[in-house]
Structure 1
């Protein structure tokens, strides 16, 4: 498996959202992925019950048991994600909360698989002109990278990603030597 990068350029993120707009399921996958610390394997297992209530209203949090770690997690749902969920639900929700959110087009109430998710994200990145190696795992990395850039404490990001150290988290989100140099040189006491 190739090492993938976060999507660092916010303008490219907006381009990808627009490119995916004609495929609501794929757009929601992208929006939820870049706005949470969830692994793609956990995203794909989400059902409507995980994001809306019986009345079709968006929940405040996603609560799940992580596939990889077995840990229980509670992730807040931001306003923009709620809006995307509402739009998507209006189009595809048929009243059964147990149906997968990112359902395969085969019609058998199965979620899309990781390979399909990878192909969706990779193609949208390519169409957006992103030259970095981008895949489904880039969604989680993108959330972490932009959270860090927005000033979120690295220890909180580390905890959200279930990493064992801040150094691992910094390496994971692609904080480069140039950025480390800028941090030192900009202070110049």
Structure 2
């Protein structure tokens, strides 16, 4: 699989809406739900693909819509709040006839990360969104979380990064902020 070298978060609401539209129009409901759940939770695509349908269905009668996930990379157990997207995810899951939330058409197993990438890339091409890959979902979550809260310590913890600078670089904030500062800075600016 060839993946983009410069995978970025989706930084505008319009591009997020365009991606959702393209996924609904040109891909399967599975791919749309993968995008929504990934952007809302910050989970890695590999961890999303391991979610079983029953895990979502069990949450219907729970007051708190919290999904328990064991992260593949870190082996940590995380409780993920999915209340903001639960109705969409539940409606999709209730219509599935598969053990897996993101089923492959080839047997009883989830799609592969490669297939997830292909579908995201296809939608991105239709939507005109560049630098999209599997990590775009996680980076998009991080970018929007930081923009809303400015809480880098909590985001660092959520993403399990070693240092705040790693988190800022991961979500593309340092590059963006540097460019914004340089746009408004000039040595010879009239005072």
The verdict on a shared fold, with TM-score over 0.5 as the criterion, is: yes
Shift of 1:181: 6.5
Whole-Å separation in 2 of the counterparts to 1:136 and 1:181: 25
Q: Check whether the contact 1:35–1:78 (CA below 8 A) recurs between aligned residues.
A: no
Matched, 1:164 2:162: yes
Residue 101 (structure 1) aligns with: 101
Residue 50 (structure 1) aligns with: 55
Structure 1 range deviating more: 158-167 or 17-26: 17-26
Residue 21 (structure 1) aligns with: 24
Matched, 1:65 2:65: no
Matched, 1:87 2:87: no
Whole-Å separation in 2 of the counterparts to 1:177 and 1:136: 20
Whole-Å separation in 1 of the counterparts to 2:37 and 2:125: 20
Shift of 1:182: 4.7
Whole-Å separation in 2 of the counterparts to 1:152 and 1:109: 42
Residue 7 (structure 1) aligns with: 10
Measured against aligned partners, the alpha-carbon deviations of 1:30-77 in whole angstroms (never above 9, x if no partner) come to: 0001001201110000001222218x5576111021100011111101
Whole-Å separation in 1 of the counterparts to 2:176 and 2:66: 37
The alignment yields a C-alpha RMSD, in angstroms, of 2.2
Dislocated runs of 4+, deviation >3 Å: 56-59, 180-186
Cα distance, 1:140–1:84 mapped onto 2, change above 3 Å = same
Residue 149 (structure 1) aligns with: 147
